[in-house]
Structure 1
Amino acid sequence: MTLPPWFAIATITVLVAVVTNRSLKADDIRWFNRLQRPPWLTFERAIPLIWTIIFICGAWSAVFVWNADPGTLPTWVLMAYYLVLELVTLSYTPVMCRSRSLRVGTILGGTGAILSILLAIAVQPISTVAALLLLPYILWSPVGTYTTWAMIRYNPNDA
């Protein structure tokens, strides 16, 4: 019995997220929670929901790409690209917190933003819908990256 592509992609997306988040330690979370935030950062409570929506859109984007040409080498390469983008995105919190460096978080955020734009360009000829489903990532990632960068001003010892 073969799994439907949407189920396989969703399962991998969730498993990667769970495994990545398990690497966070209590000290890492305490470090992040004690950081000063810019006064305009009023939407922090919504960030987990925003990223959940972004990951759902990204997974559906991958499903559209897979269904356009299933099992071919170019499609597998794009699936690997989606996985790399997810890993870069999900590594933001544990790597930044473990290194105690907002600059590292800013670099990871910027890397994700660039990778998402390049992925959208790569998948657009295959599926316009897949490219459009990456727009939430493309639009939000710079906001998160800027927010992390702006926090350096409020936490110079954690830059």
Structure 2
Amino acid sequence: MSAIIIALLVLAVASTGAMFKPGEWYRGLVRPPWTPPDRAFPVVWTILYIAIGVSGWLVWQDQGAGFAMALWLIQLVLNAAWSWLFFGRHRMDLAFADICLLLLAIVAYIAVAGSISPLAALLFVPYAAWVVLAAALNRAVWRLNKDANASPSN
């Protein structure tokens, strides 16, 4: 049952990417030349969400509710918030703050989960690396498009 709940939570967060798509606004932004191709994002995120789910399940199996699982849930909430802030609200500034907090939550989870399940911690390392890239991209796009940082209703 815990595996199903964890999978549903991860699926709910992953669905925010479908709810808040890049769209015309994002396509109109200036992006740095090192931006990954659009087709890379769904592939990478699918792999990462599987790793996030497996990692959470491993920690749950070994410890149940505890600090590590709280960090796991926090990173899920921050992950979901980023798509809403960046693509939904067009708030690159708030999305950048969110992704920095997300990275802190991921690193904290890796540190705490490592003593519970080394594999669970290891499964979050590629996630941390991708979020570093995503944070740098968020910051670069924000810097290159200062005037585009406003909610769609403005």
Q: Same fold (TM over 0.5)?
A: yes
> What residue in structure 1 maps to residue 136 of structure 2?
146
Instruction: Report the TM-score when normalising by structure 2.
Output: 0.83
Q: Secondary structure at the match of 2:115?
A: coil
Instruction: Report the TM-score when normalising by structure 1.
Output: 0.81
Q: Give a deviation string over 1:7-59, Cα, whole Å, max 9, x none.
A: 321122113433x45753x8x73322321211222433201211221111111
> What residue in structure 1 maps to residue 37 of structure 2?
43
1:17 aligns with 2:11: no
> What residue in structure 2 maps to residue 7 of structure 1?
4
Q: Partners in 1 of 2:132 and 2:83 — Cα distance?
A: 16
Deviation at 1:153? 3.2
Deviation at 1:96? 2.1
- Structure 1 consecutive aligned stretches of length 4 or more whose deviation exceeds 6 Å: none
Structure 1 alignment gaps of length 5 or more: none
Q: Partners in 2 of 1:51 and 1:22 — Cα distance?
A: 12
Say whether the 8 Å CA contact 1:92–1:108 is kept in structure 2: yes
Percent of residue pairs bearing the same amino acid type: 24
Letter aligned with residue 36 of structure 1: V
Residues 26-105 of structure 1 correspond to what in structure 2 (within 5 A)? 29-70=23-64, 73-74=65-66, 77-105=67-95
Q: How much is the aligned-residue C-alpha RMSD, in angstroms?
A: 2.1
**Aligned with residue 109 of structure 2, among 85, 109, 119:** 119
Say whether the 8 Å CA contact 1:113–1:137 is kept in structure 2: no
Say whether the 8 Å CA contact 1:60–1:130 is kept in structure 2: yes
Bigger Cα displacement from structure 2, 119-128 vs 40-49:
40-49
Q: Residue 41 and residue 13 in structure 1: after superposition, are their counterparts in 2 closer, same or farther (change >3 A)? A: same
Q: Partners in 2 of 1:152 and 1:81 — Cα distance?
A: 27
Deviation at 1:129? 0.6
Bigger Cα displacement from structure 2, 32-41 vs 144-153:
32-41
Say whether the 8 Å CA contact 2:85–2:92 is kept in structure 1: no
Q: Give a deviation string over 1:60-111, Cα, whole Å, max 9, x none.
A: 11111111134xx42xx43332122112112112112343222222211111
